[in-house]
Amino acid sequence: MSGTSENPAGTAADPTAEDVATDLSAVVGRLLRRLRSSSADSLLTPSQRSALARLEDGGPATTAALARAELVRPQSMRLTLGALESQGFVTRTPDPADGRKSLVSVTEEGSAVLAGVRAAKRSWLAEAIAGELDGAERRALAEAVGLIGRLVDK
């Protein structure tokens, strides 16, 4: 860990917030890449997985709302949703509040594919935790998960 340094007495000094942020950001990035690769055999690109997950978790949405939420241009989201629709993972219905718009929803098949992707990620991570960490380390990791959750839910 880059954030640990020795103080004059020879004991490890508390890492700075900047050091911990740097290390945590790097590790989370590597974790996300490993999780993505654990479900690489799915039929979804990362942007498709993200849009599908947002629809699954947040319910039906317009293309524009999804684009804003995913921080992409509406044209890009239209392409992503078009690919999901052609695979039968989402469907469009008229927006009851504004018939000029359509709402995109996840289909049962889309939910099943997303459940498979999520299961593959959980399975890889659970196997890695079980194979690499002892009970004390798992408890420490569980505590860290709580702390990270507190940071992101703030």
pLDDT in the model for residue 99: 80
Residues 83-115: pLDDT tens digits?
999 999 999 999 888 888 899 999 999 999 999
> What percentage of residues in the chain have a pLDDT greater than 70?
91
pLDDT in the model for residue 11: 59
Residues 123-152: pLDDT tens digits?
999 999 999 999 999 999 999 999 999 999
For residues 51 and 84, the answer to whether their CB atoms sit within 8 Å is: yes
What secondary structure does DSSP assign to 30-46, as a single string?
A: HHHHHHHHHTTTSS--H
Q: Does the pLDDT value for residue 5 go beyond 60?
A: no
pTM given for the model: 0.75
CA–CA–CA angle 31, 33, 36 (5° rounding)? 110
